[in-house]
Structure 1
């Protein structure tokens, strides 16, 4: 593939000439990409929950011109639409054998100033941490981010699980890109203890992020299971890449990484083998996106 990319002496050569989505096995697609192409790689792999992940059919109400099947505020007409169920299987007999070659490809594809974010939960995160220490080296471990949320079922026989873990590794601990000035700031939890100026500015996030999940009735909702909120990806992409940099997500799912990258002026490559994921991305990503059967 032609190699084009952002300007600058340290900018990696681009893996494509345009934003690209590969439909197929990610290991095969990754093997064909040029090394050190990406400043940022974010992946949200299957969590190995042992069950089929399904987002049930959902009913949507859309405003319409003329007559609809229901009437809303100020007599406006609306139509009711039934969405389709989306699903994938999340069961692995040997999870580490599945994920290891893909993480090794991530290491190969990261630029020298690049950063990898691996989004997991309690089931596999500890084993993957040890694996990443082996692949990248323990000195390249940057952060363990905790994304805490408060939604869904509540267990009665144990502490309810209400957080995910995002492991952050860099290619070179002396060269990686991180710009805290580009990150959205948060309100102080004890605003009375800081000056009015600090209260107005807000504080930089720590390694514990409180952020709601994608609202079941919100505008972001695509109906794809495991969809992550744009706010989480916006923080990651803003901090660990620059405008014009290339961003990779090879478990792309609903395409949140690409959607946010495009809004922030980054270029992206996404990979997923689920036809339902590709359908969602076609409706969500910029029209200029190129789709390739991997």
Structure 2
């Protein structure tokens, strides 16, 4: 349990409505109600409490979010002071990739250049140490990277999380323009490194849709029909038991196919409605899959370098409270705009 209190160093004094209704048990207030900050079920507006903190005050059927402008270290200091240790079921981190490029787009830019690889890895190492105390005992940490440094980052992550707690290297494969190879073939994937906090961490089942014709071609079996017209094939339990039970095609197609570690998700095209104009924006479909795989409704999700705020959109629409932060004022402006549009609050 934890309470919300006002940090006057970061927030202006805000006069809240003195509602007599009780706080939700997960957000027990330790201060007089009119001075409580941030998440309260009985508030109904989005407030900018200062130029650094934005929060939603949703009604009971909605989900809270908080946005902070500041470095990851500043955000974590604030979270530590407000009872968020061991709170997050999912922390997604999309840091610079050590690409050596200036990332520029119509609504923002940042430099991904470093003096050397050791300097970059020291930056990652410091953030690993800062972030780990905020993961729940059953939580997951996801590090988004690419070929520039993924093999180094896996080793670093194992040092902090434990080699045995590494769960998956997910390959996000996407489309895009390809050129003929001269020095190397086209690189069209990113890597999501997923660690669990402990053996108690459990993923949720996520499925891809099955295509009926593809499934039938893969099985290479005769299709049978029941008297009521339902299609089925034989299922087997091993050698000598090839006709052990019936598999109904409509059940298989309806359930879908359990996902594997290669995710074919398109990048955001230039005319897509979700495009914000911020560099390195990730597709909503990618973050929705991570949230569904690693959390349940009501679990806190955190993103300390949230960029365009896609993690917030995915988490909030799936009914997960979410913390978003970034040191780039352009990123924070886009996050605030996207989240306010979602909640439709004024």
TM category, shorter:
0.7 to 0.9
Which runs of structure 2 are paired with 1:1-294 in the superposition (5 Å)? 2=3, 17=39, 18-33=64-79, 34-55=84-105, 84-93=106-115, 94-154=119-179, 156-157=181-182, 158-173=184-199, 175-180=200-205, 183-187=206-210, 190-191=214-215, 192-194=217-219, 196-197=249-250, 198-286=252-340
Report if the CA contact (8 A) 1:43-1:117 is conserved: yes
SS in 2 for 1:285: helix
Paired residues in the alignment total 251
Distance 1:85 1:135, change over 3 A: same
Paired with 1:232 and 1:170, the residues of 2 have a C-alpha distance of 19
C-alpha displacement of 1:86: 1.9
Paired with 2:311 and 2:24, the residues of 1 have a C-alpha distance of 18
Paired with 2:159 and 2:100, the residues of 1 have a C-alpha distance of 26
Please say which of residues 15-24 and 92-101 is displaced more in the overlay. Answer: 15-24
SS in 1 for 2:333: helix
Distance 1:42 1:48, change over 3 A: same
TM-score by length of 2: 0.68
Mark the runs of 5 or more structure 2 residues left unpaired by the alignment: 5-22, 27-36, 40-63, 220-232, 234-248
Distance 1:261 1:24, change over 3 A: same
Report if the CA contact (8 A) 1:40-1:114 is conserved: yes
SS in 2 for 1:29: helix
Report if the CA contact (8 A) 2:67-2:336 is conserved: no
SS in 1 for 2:340: coil
Paired with 2:266 and 2:145, the residues of 1 have a C-alpha distance of 17
Report if the CA contact (8 A) 1:43-1:119 is conserved: yes
Q: CA RMSD in A?
A: 2.3
1:68 corresponds to which residue?
Answer: none
Report if the CA contact (8 A) 1:19-1:288 is conserved: no
C-alpha displacement of 1:16: 6.2
- CA offsets 1:108-143 (integer angstroms, 9 cap, x no match): 110000001111000111111000110011011000
Paired with 1:186 and 1:98, the residues of 2 have a C-alpha distance of 40
Task: Determine which structure has more spread, i.e. the larger CA radius of gyration.
Answer: 2
- CA offsets 1:243-294 (integer angstroms, 9 cap, x no match): 11100001100000001111000000011001110111121013698xxxxx
